[in-house]
Amino acid sequence: MTALFTDKVVLVTGAANGVGRAIAEGFAAEGGRVFATDVDAANGRDVVAKIVSAGGNATFIHADLTDDAAIARLFAQLEQAGDALDIAVNNAAIDIEVGNQAGLWEPETMDRVFGINVMGVFNCMRRELRWMERQGRGAIVNIASLAGLVGVGGKPAYTAAKHAVVGLTRAAAIQFGPAGVRVNAVCPSAIRTEMLRIQGVDDEVMKSVHPLRRIADPSDIADAAIWLCSDRAQHITGHPLVIDAGYMAY
């Protein structure tokens, strides 16, 4: 079977762990030339080493997406590597409203969460969109959350930030669709990652509120992102794709 993304250039942010790691590995397995970026250099390089050892094509670029100057350097490195940017998956995010921070409505928490979850996405997107607009093609997927479509008690900053990501997705899809650029979002519920473990939620309790009685694996989200960026989804843009084991069916 022919790989979906042979020689396509793919940028994945937040690629060092969890969902981002699965996305980077998934695109590489489908023939993509993956540029993986993260503030976590050690794990980011480990992801790339494993992709390369499996026969894939991947490069790690260290970047702190709370720093627009660092994002500018990231894209300068991408431009030096070639003239195409076919796919971008904006995954990097944090969720710090747990334990004593949950539900406090602190401005400092809002600033920190928005700094990476919204401004990091925005500052990557504005470069990705212009690049893709110039070349007349491209696909962007933003990893949002079910919290981008519904409210989550105790997480005002995360909920507001993920709603913003869905809003950016829709606005970009409308503006850049005529240039041949598709922009979608993936909105997962619970995913079995370190971020979920830190929340301290019991597995069985979490499963009980999902009709399929399962928690998503990072590969479930990667598969959705891969599909949205493929020609099999060429008529889809501006869509927040829910990956939730049936949670929203209630």
Catalytic center residues: 158
Do the beta carbons of residue 172 and residue 183 sit within 8 Å? yes
Print the SS3 string covering 69-126: HHHHHHHHHHHHHCCCCCEEEECCCCCCCCHHHCCCCCHHHHHHHHHHHCHHHHHHHH
167 HSE (CA, 13 A, CB side)? 11
**Is 151 exposed, middle or buried, given 0-12, 13-18 or 19+ CB atoms closer than 10 A?**
exposed
Compute the distance between CA of residue 246 and CA of residue 190 in angstroms, rounded to an integer.
11
Compute the distance between CA of residue 60 and CA of residue 13 in angstroms, rounded to an integer.
10
Evaluate the CA torsion angle 79, 81, 82, 87 in order and state its sign. negative
Q: Which helix (H) or strand (E) holds 229?
A: helix 218-229
